[in-house]
Chains A and B, each alone.
Chain A
Amino acid sequence: AQKVTQAQTEISVVEKEDVTLDCVYETRDTTYYLFWYKQPPSGELVFLIRRNSFDEQNEISGRYSWNFQKSTSSFNFTITASQVVDSAVYFCALRGGGYNKLIFGAGTRLAVHP
């Protein structure tokens, strides 16, 4: 079975703080893909990053960084120097190599206060 767990339901920070969103996944596939999406209040899911199971390199994109660790089945997302515009619900998702559907976690609601 495939599963994604985002244990943090809500996180509240003050602007300029760093924040890490946790994602733990379960799969028996050796080939799989992990994703992060952002869902602002407008409702649209915005793609942020994709990682495949053979690429454990961490990635940085501006204030965003991702830490993929197969040993702990985690794919965590860090926002550095958070801004009010980062306020949204963030979803981690998994797609097994032999599947077409995405399995989403329940999401983490991030509130960044000025």
Chain B
Amino acid sequence: DTGVSQDPRHKITKRGQNVTFRCDPISEHNRLYWYRQTLGQGPEFLTYFQNEAQLEKSRLLSDRFSAERPKGSFSTLEIQRTEQGDSAMYLCASRQTSEPTVTDTQYFGPGTRLTVL
């Protein structure tokens, strides 16, 4: 089993530009989560998908943020009109909640580190 992968690993952008990150979950995991981690803090939940349906969004997810998981496999997180406050590590995690391989554990990818200049 390959783990969760994220692309790119690092992204530097100028304020006002749009950026898009990709997450590939562990194969056949039906739930996919996005978290944001700022320096010196623990990860904070942004949103999650069950298959292609986005079931919950945090208040942290402003209108400039949008996430998709169109075919229930990989997911993208887009930030429009980036601001310096968006600089953070964006982490993706996946989990399986359908039989026969239910797991209560979220497995994380390596993250995408975003720097907004």
Interface residues of chain A, those whose CB is within 8 Å of chain B, are 4, 33, 35, 37, 42-47, 50, 52, 91, 93, 95, 100-107
Contact = CB atoms under 8 A, between A and B. Distances in A.
A44 B109 contact: yes
Nearest to A93: B42
Nearest to B106: A102
Given A43-B110, A43-B113, A50-B105, 11 more contacts: A33-B104, A46-B108, A47-B105, A47-B106, A93-B42, A100-B56, A101-B48, A102-B106, A103-B45, A105-B42, A106-B41
Interface of B: 31, 33, 35, 40-45, 48, 55-56, 58, 89, 91, 93, 104-111, 113
Contact of B111 (A43, A46, A91): A43
A43 B39 CA distance: 11
A44 B110 CA distance: 4
A112 B107 CA distance: 26
Contacts of A47: 105-108
Q: Is the interface of A mostly helix, strand, loop or mixed?
A: strand
Contacts of B42: 4, 91, 93, 104-107
A37 B108 contact: yes
B111 to A, nearest CB: 5
A43 B113 CA distance: 9
Contacts of A93: 42
A37 B110 CA distance: 13
> By CB atoms of chain B within 10 A, which of A45, A47, A95, A104 has the most?
A45
B104 A107 contact: no
A103 B35 CA distance: 10
A87 to B, nearest CB: 16
Contacts of B89: 43
A46 B3 CA distance: 11
B63 to A, nearest CB: 20
Contacts of A33: 104
> By CB atoms of chain B within 10 A, which of A43, A50, A106 has the most?
A43
Contact of A104 (B43, B56, B110): B43
A37 B106 CA distance: 10
